[in-house]
Structures are given as structure tokens and as C-alpha cells.
Amino acid sequence: MESIETKRFRFAEYELLGANRILLKEGKPLALTSKSFDLLMALVERRGEVLTKDQLLEIVWPDQIVEEGNLTVHISNLRKVFGEGKNEHRFIVTVPGRGYSFVAELENGHDVIVERHSLSRIVIEESSNGNRAQQLPSARSFAKTFQLALAVLAVVGACGIGLWIYQRNQSRPTFAAEWLAPTLAPKPTQLTTNGKVAFAALSPDGEHFAYTVGQTDMPSLWYAHTNGKQQAQIREPEAGVSYQGLTFSPDGTEIYYVASDDKNRQGALYRIPVLGSSPPQKVLTNIDSPVTFSPDGKQVAFVRNAAKRKLSIMVIADAADGKNERELASRPLGKHFSMRGPSWSPDGKQIASGAVIGNPLSEEAMVLVNTENGSTEKLGSATFNQVRRVAWLKDGSGVYINAVEKDVWDDRHLWLMEYPTGSAHKVTQDLFHYGMFNLSVSDDGSKVLSVSSTKICNIFVSPADHLTQGTKITANSLGKQAGAVGLTWSADGRIVYGAFFDKGQTLWSMDRDGGNAKQITPAGFLDRFPSSAKDAVVFGSSRGSEGSMTIWRTGLEGGEPKHLANGNRPSVTPDGRWVLYGAQTPEGFVSVWKVSIDGGEPIRILRNPSGYVRVSPDGKTFACSYNAAEGEKAQLAVFPIDGGEPLHVFDVLPRANLSMGIRWTPDGRSLVYRDFGPSLWKQDLSGGEPEKLLEFPDEIIYSFEWSPDGKQFAVAHGEDVRDVVLLTRNSR
């Protein structure tokens, strides 16, 4: 059977080439998406047959669940490519109630047909008297003949030049092919050395880059040359500001960045000249991702999450002032677009983005959004745990992506997906992780910029009355990150903690001096946020088929885990009878629930958005993150154990991180939470401003907790060294 790579069809002024996956019109390539090409090939090779919609869906989207509307969209796209009007059926005919048929005549053979022209001949005849009479054409006739000959030569010459250009372009390696050539491996170069870079972007010409230093602790914005010889601070350190991604304008004269503060908690888009010659201008608000520019630089696209509408939306707006917003496409929040940053294709017809296609914890893929009608299709067959920021190569031959490989839970690397085939290739193979918001490519396709990350985390134990006198009890092993995803004390004084191990997150236990370390849960899942329950431990996990985090219980010595509920970040009551946790509500937000330690029907405790719950030492109250209403500012609140009205409500610091850090002091009089950096903060229930309890300069505190008797304190802290890295493709 002839493969698609060898198939070649000619009809009218068109030629369909299977080897190149391209449609030519009079020798010039036409833009087709991957699925539109597959659809056309299916119709053409079965010319004259009526193919039902089900047949075409099975041929073009094998083993995929695709709405019939996708087929209609691609049929419409093909008709636009062929220039067919509403009532024209020169190529594709719709057979009502049956399907579609390709009806144009196909030419036989595979040779290029050259149009033949005849030239007028100069004829010399003999006269009747035997003399040779020269019957020469008139001057006008000769001129016309000469002009026709020149025209034919010009046409032939133009065809030859066109064929030469086409063949040269076909033989020239694409940007994607050059990156993937085994003899042209990329060369990484570290551009910064401060270890505190959060976000970075490469200028279109590949000569400069912008980056931020610090994230929540007075971040600043910088501009530098990739040769390391020039560096300028554009924005001074600002308290209460959090950056969320950088993008250069197409001409390289401005930097667009997303930032949040107390006035713009969901994020606002700003633009500023590269040398900071004037203050930043706010472009638009309510934005959840970095932006990408249209090829002409006049528009930007970004992701906006509409919680009340339960939608993730791809939005287009004017780049200069944010006006003329248009919702291009939307997905349910459970299948949301990635908030790490989309990328507009060089031809302007598609926007690439990561998106959830299955289990929200582990099934994401690259999708292409049609900029004309908003239809969305998956690129290629590759599926990842996560797809972060993406960036098109400017020749359209591929898309770079920052992704976490399938079944590898925390191993962010750079991948290249070829277009239109969707073949996925892992480009970086080192021990670094690559920043989730950070990926940009120079216009000539020779440079890729990202941020590398090396994280080291260890657990320290100290006397409760001397918190800074901790002793390290875990090994300085790269990648394991002991305690980075939670720790707790068991009733018998052991420490239970989460660690990265064998491509996942597992739970371990050890003595308070670090001895007798034992693995509790098997590898292959995300097991984290442990909470002790007498002779057992309760934890959040990715195991199960619910597509979200779930609550499980297992013995301190391991054993088969028992599923308790759907939710995350559990906290067990001191009597060991109940587990409080955060879980999704019918209204679409997270709130506090509880379930028996033996499982059973969950009980909702709070009606408002709330989470990150922690039960008090006496079991009478619990603390949590609390929003008085959906969309309102998060606060720290204390409630009676069975819910009701809050007993205490406190504002938190702008850089507070409650997601893994609400704890009670042993006396139950204060709450302690961490920030995104090196410090713990104590909030007395009697009121007043929070006070700094502990700080490890130039490090990050991940998790902490007092022992059951209140005499010892365990804390996991370490470094996340992040610097700008430039990958350079070797020259051909």
C-alpha cells in the first residue's frame, strides 16, 4: 500500500504532495493546518467516493473524541483555500445526509507538465520560374514573432527561477531541523550569576534580554546584553509587587510585563521602554498569563480565567491600549489553557498554548487555536504532565515548549514540537529545571532563552525556644528536596515528610535525629502535605481517577492506602477522628470540608471560599485562608471546629504564602505562616501586626511544624538558585 509520504496528486492548478505535507497552487505553497491537510488527502485519494462524517472523523482523528463541528470547520477552511463560493462545488461537494466527496478531475502521472508553444516559421519557397523567391515576413509580423519568442523565454526563465527557488527552499533546513540535528547540539550559556532571577525574556534580535531579580521580596526589573557587558536597572525594587512574566514587543523597543499588587490582585499588563526612559503605562487589567504578539505587533493575546463563568478564555486585544477585546476561544476551567504564556504563529493564523486535555494533574498537551474562528485542535500525539510557556520558531517549522514529561512529576525541560507533524523532541538533557514562565526564541531561530533552576532543601530540627539553632538531619542530596512538599510529627516523635523520589513525590519517615529513614508510600504519584493521625498519616495525593488531588490514609509503616475523600491539604483533629481539608464546591470554588478518619460522606463546614486549613492544638477551632466573598482579598481567619461565623479575621502580608504554611504555636495563642521567601511570621490572636518569627537570609522556607510536646521545631528550608540561560544553536 502506498504511504502518504509517496502520494502526489495533481488537479486543476493544484498539486498535493504527501512527502512534504503541502498543497501547491501554481507552484506556490498554501497555508494548511495539519488536520486540514489530512482531511484533504483523505478526500482526494478517495476521489468520487462519498465519505461519511464518521469515516472522516476516524481517518483524520483516529482514536480521539472530536466534536463534529471540528470537521465542519476544516471543510470550510479547505473551501476558502480553494476560493469556492457558497454555491460552488468545483472541488468538494456536500452530499446532504451522507457526507462529503472530492469531485475534481485528477491528472495521471507524476511528471511536471510544461506548457508547449509553437513559433511562426519563416518559409522560403521557389517561384514558378525556378528562381528562389524569398517570401519574408513584414517588419510588423517579425516584431510580433520576436516579442512572442521573448515572452516565451521569459515565462520559461521565470518558471526555471521559481523552480530553483522552490527546490532551494525545500532543501534548506528549517529552524526546527537545525535544532534537532545531532551534530548541532545547543550550547548553554549562563547569563546571570545572582541566583535570584524569577522571569526573563529574549529580545527579537537575540542581542538583549530582560529579567527580574527577586519575586515577592522587593523585585526589580533589569535589561542586559547577551554578551554580559551591558546591564541597566529599568525598575527599582518595589514592595508588594509580584511579576508574572515578561515579553518583548516585536520591534524590541518595549517590554510588556504582567504584575500584581494590592490594587490589581489578578494581574495587570504594563509596557515600558527597554531603557526605562519613561514610567510604565498600564495597558489592561484582569489578565492571568504573559502576552504574545500578533505578527504585525498590533494585537496581543493572553489567557483570562473567569471564575464566575467557570471558563478559561483566550483573549485578543489591541497592544497599544488594551482596547477592542475579543474572546477568541474558551475552555471549561477543568480543561483550562495554560497560564504560563501562549504564542502567536508567524503567519498569524494560530495561537499555540498548553491546555488540560484529561486529568488536570497529569494530562496536558499543545493545542492550536484558530485566530479566525476560535476552533481548537491538538498538535501531535504527545501528552505531558504539564505544558508551561510556549514559543513559535519564526519560520513556523516548530514550537518550543517548557514541559514536564509524562509520568515525571517535577522535571521541567525544554522540548521542541515540529510543525505540522507534531513530533516532540526533548532538547535539554541536563539536571537543571527550566522556569515555567520563561521561554523565548530569537527571530532568526538561533537562540532560546529560559531560566534554569536548581533546588536544594533540607530538614533542620531545633529546640522550640531557640529556633535558629537547628541541626540538619537530612543529606544534601540534589533533587530529593526533603520537606519541600510538607512535613509533620507523628505521635511517637518521628518526622514524616514528603520528598521527590523516582520521578514522583513520596512520603518518608525518620527519627528526630535523621536516622532510620523509611519510605512510606510507593513511587509513581504526587504524595504530599502529610498530617499525623496517631498510628497513621493522612496526605494529599494524585492517585485515583478523579482528575484532582484526593485525600488518603496509610499506616506509619506503609501499607495499602485508603481513600477518604476528594480534596487536598488535610489536617487531622487531635483526637484522630476527623480530617479537615479543602475541596471543590458545587459553586466552583474551594471551601473547607471534613470527613471521618475511616472515610464516609464528606461534610461541608464553610460556605465561603476558604482553604489551607489547620486544626488548633486543643481541637476546638481551626485556622484557614478565607475570602469574605468570591473575588475578595484573602485573609487569615479562625473558626469554631464545626464552622459558623469567624472568631478572628486578620489581614496578611502582601507576600504571605498560606498554601503550605499555616500552623499554630504550641500554646494555641498565635498563628504562624510563611512568606514566599526566607521568613516565618507570627500573628497573635489578640490582634496587632504580624511579627517576624524566623528568617534564613537568601533561602526559602518550605514547611515547618512543632513537635506534639511543643519542645522541638522542625523546618525545611534551602535554596532555589535561578539564573538566566541562553541556548545557542550551532551554525550550519
For 4-102, CATH gives 1.10.10.10
Domain boundaries, the chain: 4-102, 175-180+191-446, 455-722
Q: What pLDDT digit, counting tens, does each position of 202-244 carry? A: 999 999 999 999 865 688 999 999 987 778 899 988 877 888 8
Give the pLDDT confidence score for residue 132 in this predicted structure.
37
Beta-strand runs (E) in 26-87:
28-30, 51-52
- Residue 564 predicted with pLDDT over 60: yes
Q: pLDDT band at 109, cuts 50/70/90?
A: very low
The pLDDT confidence band at residue 377, using thresholds 50, 70 and 90, is: very high
pLDDT at 63 over 80: no
732 to 3, 176, 442, 443, 612: CA distances (angstroms): 31, 13, 17, 17, 54
Query: Which range (98-112, 122-136, 402-416) has the least confidence?
Result: 122-136
User: What letters, b where the CB count within 10 A reaches 16 and e where it falls short, cover 4-23?
Assistant: eeeeebbbeebbbbbeebbb
- Residue 591 is predicted with a pLDDT of 95
Distance separating alpha carbons of residues 76 and 82, to the nearest angstrom: 10
pLDDT in tens, 22-42: 888 888 878 777 788 889 999
Could you tell me how far CA 336 lies from the centroid of its own chain?
11
The least confident of 68-72, 325-329, 572-576 is 68-72
Domain 455-722 sits in CATH at 2.120.10.30
- Whose CA is closest to 291, among 279, 281, 276, 303? 303
Q: Would the pTM count as exceeding 0.95? A: no
3-class DSSP state for residue 163?
Answer: helix
Confidence at residue 86, expressed as pLDDT on a 0 to 100 scale: 59
Other beta carbons within 10 Å of 88? 12
Q: Does 130 have pLDDT greater than 50?
A: no
CA 664 to chain centre: 36
**Exposure letters 138-153 (e unless 16+ CB within 10 A, then b):** eeeeeeeeeeeeeeee
The string of DSSP codes covering 253-283 is SEEEEEEE-SS-SS-EEEEEETT--S--EEE
Domains 4-102 and 175-180+191-446 in one fold: no
Q: How far apart are CA 681 and CA 652, in angstroms?
A: 10
Taking the alpha carbons at both ends of the chain, their separation in whole angstroms is: 37
Going 294 to 299 to 300 to 304, the CA torsion angle's sign is negative
**pLDDT at 687 (0 to 100):** 94
- Whether 658 has a pLDDT exceeding 80, the answer reads yes
Can you tell me the distance from the alpha carbon of 325 to that of 587, in angstroms, rounded to the nearest whole number?
27
Which residues have C-beta within 8 Å of that of residue 615, sequence separation ≥ 6? Answer: 571, 572, 573, 574, 580, 621, 622, 641
Which one has a higher pLDDT value, 526 or 115? 526
What is the model's pLDDT at position 111? 37
Listed in sequence order, the DSSP H helices in 536-666 are none
Decide which of 583 and 729 is more confident. 583
pLDDT over threshold 90, residue 338: yes
Averaged pLDDT of the chain: 85
CA dist 236 to 239, 269, 276, Å? 10, 18, 10
Confidence (pLDDT) at 137: 45
Q: Cα angle vertex 330, ends 263, 396, to 5°?
A: 100
> What pLDDT is attached to residue 93?
87
| Closest of 500, 457, 467 to residue 705, by C-alpha | 467
pLDDT at 62: 82
Give the count of beta carbons closer than 10 Å to the beta carbon of residue 686: 8
> In the β-sheet with 558-566, what is the strand arrangement from edge to edge?
527-533, 536-541, 550-555, 558-566
Instruction: Report which secondary-structure segment, H or E, holds 152.
Output: helix 139-171
How many Å apart are CA 149 and CA 336, to the nearest integer?
Answer: 63
**Torsion angle of the four alpha carbons 555, 561, 566, 567, in this order, in degrees rounded to the nearest 10:** 40
How high is the pLDDT of residue 406?
Answer: 77
pLDDT tens-digit readout, 259-291:
888 777 778 999 999 977 789 999 999 999 999
**What pLDDT score was predicted for residue 134?**
39
Residue 262: predicted pLDDT: 73
Predicted pLDDT at 68: 74
Bridge partners (DSSP) of residue 23 are: 16, 30
Calculate what percentage of the chain has a pLDDT beyond 70. Answer: 86
Specify the range with the lowest mean pLDDT, choosing from 597-606, 627-636, 641-650. Answer: 627-636
- Of the candidates 253, 707, 177, the residue with the CA atom closest to the CA atom of residue 461: 707
**What is the widest separation between alpha-carbon atoms in the chain?**
137
**Cα–Cα dist 4/37, whole Å:** 11
How does pLDDT run across 500-513, given as a tens digit for each residue? 876 778 999 999 99
Cα dist from 168 to 5, 20, 27, 162, 418, whole Å: 20, 14, 13, 10, 20
- Cβ contacts of 541 within 8 Å, gap of 6 or more: 521, 525, 526, 527, 528, 549, 550, 551, 552, 561
**Average confidence (pLDDT) over 520-533:** 90
pLDDT of residue 362: 76
Residue type, 254: E
Domain spanning 175-180+191-446, CATH architecture: 6 Propeller (2.120)
Which segment of 326-340, 350-364, 667-681 scores lowest on mean pLDDT?
350-364
